[in-house]
Structure 1
Amino acid sequence: MEKSYSYPIDLEWSREDMVRVIDLWRAVELAYETGIDRELFLKKYQAFKQVIPAIGEEKKWGREFQQLSSYSLYKVVQEAKTSTKKNIHM
């Protein structure tokens, strides 16, 4: 699927932080489009949390990403945390 939106990022973040956040957005896309290894997703989520540790900020960025892509960060995170399956596919 060709994506027709830009990833939400803060231009004041370091390049490394931008990469961590974009990696998570890609992981959320994969969870919806083809599936992703649950452990890999959780690692990417932990890296994201180093950039955005506050739950309020996470919700804000997650809502922005969902408005752009229609994919829910919250739903994928919940699935990853509660599932015992090796792969997540929304």
Structure 2
Amino acid sequence: MDYHYPLNELWSKDEIIDIVHFFSIIEKYYEKTATDTEISSAYKRFKEIVPSKSEEKQYFNDFEIASGYKVYPVIKKTNEKT
């Protein structure tokens, strides 16, 4: 991994850890090792930290630019299964 996760300096240490965990779960999905439960749980926590849809889109876009991984299709696919 040669990129940085999109973070907000106003978040607490625990929130930063949870956001990093969420993005690492997205990476695991593309490596075929994340479960739907892991994805749903991490996304739920992400939404507690980032409730705004527009901010969510910006963080997802920043992550995609940095990593090449698209977040929204993963969340959509997971939600369709559950």
Is 1:46 aligned to residue 5 of structure 2?
A: no
Identify the match of residue 77 of structure 2 among 70, 76, 79: 79
Counterpart AA for 2:74: V
SS at match of 2:8: coil
TM-score, normalising length: structure 2? 0.94
- % same residue: 26
Gaps of 5+ in 2: none
Gaps of 5+ in 1: 85-90
Structure 1: distance between partners of 2:77 and 2:26: 11
Aligned residues: 82
Higher normalized strand content (fraction of residues): 1
- Root-mean-square deviation (CA, aligned residues, Å) is 1.0
Higher normalized helix content (fraction of residues): 2
Runs of 4+ in 1 over 2 A off after TM superposition: none
Q: Which residue of 1 aligns with 2:59?
A: 61
How many Å apart are 1:35 and its aligned residue?
Answer: 2.7
Q: Which residue of 1 aligns with 2:17?
A: 19
